[in-house]
Amino acid sequence: VEFDTFGMFALPINPVGGGEENVHYFDNVAFTIAAPPQMVPGDANGDGAVDSEDVRILAANWQRTGVGWLGGDFNNDRRVDARDASILAANWGRVSGGEESYQAIPEPTALIGMLGVMLALSAATRGLRLRAGNPRGILDRCNG
């Protein structure tokens, strides 16, 4: 980019490498400088969340060189490897908006605990139904 004293600038554009450059002149252009969006470490697709889509992108580019952030190279060493996978894993579930903002991902142990509670409630309800049909109760009948 070249600037002249009158505020105009020329932008040389080289289409698809080689060949002659096209030069475009611009005048009365306003520029707005904005901070780039904060990328979440491990967020390859830029949707603001570290999730399975990011794992898919990282896996598709595994051991490739020359790829950038959007290809899964989160430490900018120009290679997608175990270091990038560890960055993704360390930020799994994180969403943009702060350091402490994480998505709730249910753990299998919680689901197993819920299943146990449901089975206990089912057994208790079944026991109440049996007692309602037998006024003396099940234990009285067993004891004779």
So where are the chain's domains? 108-138
Confidence grade of residue 14 (pLDDT, cut at 50, 70, 90):
low
Q: Supply the pLDDT for residue 12.
A: 56
pLDDT class for 1, splitting at 50, 70, 90?
A: very low
pLDDT of residue 41: 92
What per-residue confidence (pLDDT) applies to 121?
76
pLDDT tens digits, 41-58: 999 998 989 999 999 999
Sheet holding 2-3, edge to edge: 2-3, 9-13, 22-26
Q: Which two tokens stand for residue 109?
A: 């142990």
Amino acid residing at 127: G
Query: Lowest-pLDDT range, 4-8, 68-72, 82-86?
Result: 4-8
In tens, the pLDDT along 82-138 reads: 999 999 999 999 998 654 445 555 555 666 777 777 777 777 766 655 555 555 555
Report the C-alpha gap between 59 and 54 in whole angstroms.
9
45 and 34 Cβ atoms separated by less than 8 Å? no
